[in-house]
Amino acid sequence: MLRGVDLRVTRPRVAVLGAVHDLPHADTESIIGAVRRDLGDVSHQAVYDVLRALTTAGLVRRIQPSGTVARYEARVGDNHHHVICRSCGVIADVDCAVGEAPCLTASDHNGFAIDEAEVIYWGQCPTCAARRDAGTETVH
Amino acid sequence: MLRGVDLRVTRPRVAVLGAVHDLPHADTESIIGAVRRDLGDVSHQAVYDVLRALTTAGLVRRIQPSGTVARYEARVGDNHHHVICRSCGVIADVDCAVGEAPCLTASDHNGFAIDEAEVIYWGQCPTCAARRDAGTETVH
DNA sequence: GACAGATCTTGAATGATTCAAGAAGATGCG
DNA sequence: CGCATCTTCTTGAATCATTCAAGATCTGTC
């Protein structure tokens, strides 16, 4: 995969790419943890650099919902979206739902040339909704 | 407006609310600047507190696209969306475009109870697109 | 196998945002 | 109108994800 996008193959890159595949929607810290479990010591700077390189190359996608740290996922190229639980922060994928040529109509709003439509659904995950219904009120 | 949502009326709150109305999509720093031009010295902490109170009360909306600082707008309650220029970062409003009961179908993805759909369109604003066509290539 | 440039390590800096404690202000009541 | 009380603002410092910078190391190529 790395060679396919003209990136040099290094141990940190392979490990980061593996971690992003294994841990969907993981934040940088989790990825650093997984990489170190795999390789031993790796600097956090290296992981940041690698994540940027992979993102630029299009091998991973970076998402950063309001008020959270950056997260990464390996599912790219299909323009899917995300649901985020306001209570526990868990993220799930949502396939593009609206009609057929959805989300990214190559339309031209306000004269902008649009190349991506990013949709984030906010709500309650099943677990948190149940907990709240039960009265435990573990808000946030 | 403040009394309407049971918030005490203070000079900083009035000034911040005015600034958010005057400067759509302004970041915190811009708002602090506008407030100080209006009132003289006001602590940044006060502005942060006020913005949070106003956001919680629903008088302003906070947006924070990937990789940017928080921004605020006074247009609330109509579920509109945003287009952002990847080159210069300018933000414009986009009315809900998709069909009739758009964006927020009270549907139930993966068992989530969704209460908001946030859409961000990424692209090039007319100015940056023109500049790029002209070959000036002022990327970023 | 060695060179050149990319990538990693180390260590420090940045900057938006938040925390904490005390002073000042707003609202309600006498 | 003046006071008591709770909220809000000021001041000053801390947090923490992310980035910068300089030098050492490694990858891919000739």
Q: How many helices (H) and strands (E) does chain A have?
A: 4, 6
C-alpha distances in Å from residue A57, one per residue of A2, A5, A65, A97, B122: 9, 6, 21, 27, 18
Whether A54 has a pLDDT exceeding 70, the answer reads: yes
Give the C-alpha separation, A14 to A6, whole Å: 14
A41 CA, D23 C1': Å apart: 19
pLDDT at B140: 42
- Return the percentage of chain B with pLDDT > 90, whole number: 69
A63 bridge partner residues: A71
Residue range B103-118: mean pLDDT, rounded: 74
B11 CA, C30 C1': Å apart: 28
Q: Say if CB B113 and CB A131 are below 8 A apart.
A: no
Give the C-alpha separation, B29 to B71, whole Å: 9
Residue pairs between chains A and B whose CB atoms are closer than 8 Å: 110
Give the C-alpha separation, B83 to A118, whole Å: 10
Give the C-alpha separation, A64 to A61, whole Å: 10
- Find the range with the poorest average confidence among A60-64, B99-103, B104-108: B99-103
Residue A8: nearest nucleotide (C-alpha to C1'): D27
Q: Which of B92, B97, B119 sits opposite A112 (nearest CB)?
A: B92
Residue range A86-103: mean pLDDT, rounded: 74
- Return the percentage of chain B with pLDDT > 70, whole number: 86
Query: pLDDT grade, residue B102 (50/70/90)?
Result: very low
Whether B112 has a pLDDT exceeding 70, the answer reads: yes
Confidence (pTM): 0.88
Give the C-alpha separation, B117 to B133, whole Å: 34
Question: How far does A57 lie from chain B, in Å, by closest CA?
Answer: 17
Give the C-alpha separation, A109 to B32, whole Å: 30
Backbone angles phi, psi at A75, to 5 degrees: -80, 105
| Token reading at B136 | 């000036």
